[in-house]
Amino acid sequence: MLILDGKLLSHEIKTEIAKTVASQIDAGKNAPHLAVVLVGNDGASLTYVESIKRNTIEVGILCSVYQFLDSISEKELLAAIDFINQDDEIHGCIVQLPLPRHIDKQKVIQKIDPEKDVDCFHPENLGKLVLGEEAFLPATPHAVMELLKRYEVETSGKNCVVVGRSNIVGKPLALLLAQNNVHADATVTICHSKTQNLKEVCSQADILLVAIGKPEFITAEYVKKDAVVIDIGIHRVEDKTSEKGYKICGDVKYDEVSQKCKAITPVPGGVGSVTMACLLKNTLKAYLPKIK
């Protein structure tokens, strides 16, 4: 059984990015610059933004955090994003979600310049993804595709089942798997909470990709022998046997499923590790056409 090591792959991708950034700086160019917009003091958002800052430092990308009180008006927030859009020295912009209830998330997302939308939330970039055109890729689906490609998991003609239909993971991942290229060309089924005979559908998958948001939901019964299993979920659940009082797990019951499948991503250390590297990769992609 092969473990698809996301930590190792993340290091590989970040090393590639760092080399490219260093070569540009050595040539007298400015470094890539990522702007992060953060509203309020949500604990998970603060932790994620700190992780972004650490990772950008590793690869030589500048990171500016625009943090606002959760009382900021929608008009003020849109003006701040417009300011970022107009700054030619900022190459990528992400708005950390969730936003306060009084702010229309879609208005904010649509305000981001599509050429700086490294999270790939803007409708223009999502439309390009649907059409198979060159565009930024959403970080988590991008991470999954990098894992499949770099570990040489054959996707062409394979039966791929995606469990989860979110706009951030499930839908774009299904689109990427179905695209007409050498690292995709799969036959894709999307499952969700209303899918009948879910266990039967999953058990027919050559590649099972799980983003259902339920801790250890997928057991060995859902998995075909020698399938490839990509676990995209991550949860902190109570574990009284642990010193910390909790454990980190995914949507897949790893101990069971790993005995039956051909390859699997661990949690932690799988897809999540590569997701950040793909966000950095998008920032570099936004930067390269604009350097002078």
- Does any domain span residue 287? no
- Nearest of 2, 7, 60, 63 to residue 38 by alpha carbon: 63
pLDDT above 90 for 193: no
- Does any domain span residue 127? no
Task: Give pLDDT, residue 129.
Answer: 93
What is the average pLDDT across 83-95?
97
Q: Which domain holds residue 54?
A: 27-116
Number of structural domains (the chain) is: 2
- Does any domain span residue 13? no
110 and 55 in a common domain: yes
186 and 67 in a common domain: no
Distance CA 25, CA 29 (A): 5
- Does any domain span residue 133? no
Q: What are phi and psi of 171, to 5 degrees?
A: -65, -50
Tell me which amino acid residue 262 is. K
Measured between alpha carbons, how far is residue 291 from residues 16, 61, 91, 191 in Å?
18, 14, 10, 42
Which pLDDT band holds residue 61 (cuts at 50, 70, 90)? very high
Using a pLDDT cut of 90, give the percent of the chain over it.
Answer: 92
Task: Give pLDDT, residue 133.
Answer: 92
Q: Which residues contact 262 (CB under 8 A, 6 or more apart)?
A: 1, 2, 226, 227, 228
Which two structure tokens, joined as six digits, stand for 271?
């897809």
Tell me which amino acid residue 208 is. L
Tell me which amino acid residue 183 is. H
250 and 210 in a common domain: yes
Q: What are phi and psi of 220, to 5 degrees?
A: -60, -30
260 and 166 in a common domain: yes
268 and 158 in a common domain: yes
Task: Give pLDDT, residue 291.
Answer: 62
169 and 96 in a common domain: no
106 and 194 in a common domain: no
pLDDT above 70 for 292: no
- Does any domain span residue 265? yes
268 and 148 in a common domain: yes
pLDDT above 80 for 93: yes
pLDDT digits (tens, 9 = 90+) for 112-154: 999 999 999 999 999 999 998 998 999 999 999 999 999 999 9
pLDDT digits (tens, 9 = 90+) for 219-266: 999 999 999 999 999 998 888 887 788 899 999 999 999 999 999 999
- Does any domain span residue 17? no
156 and 63 in a common domain: no
In this structure, what DSSP letter does residue 145 have?
H
Question: What mean pLDDT is reported for the chain?
Answer: 95
- Does any domain span residue 144? yes
Task: Give pLDDT, residue 215.
Answer: 95
82 and 39 in a common domain: yes
Task: Give pLDDT, residue 240.
Answer: 80
Measured between alpha carbons, how far is residue 231 from residues 59, 247, 270 in Å?
27, 16, 8
Maximum C-alpha span of the chain:
59
pLDDT above 80 for 290: no
263 and 198 in a common domain: yes
52 and 85 in a common domain: yes
Contact between 14 and 59 under an 8 Å Cβ cutoff? The reply is yes
Q: What is the CATH number for 53? A: 3.40.50.10860
Which two structure tokens, joined as six digits, stand for 255?
């101990």
Distance CA 98, CA 100 (A): 7
Task: Give pLDDT, residue 130.
Answer: 93
Using a pLDDT cut of 70, give the percent of the chain over it.
Answer: 99
Q: What is the CATH number for 144? A: 3.40.50.720
Which pLDDT band holds residue 2 (cuts at 50, 70, 90)? very high
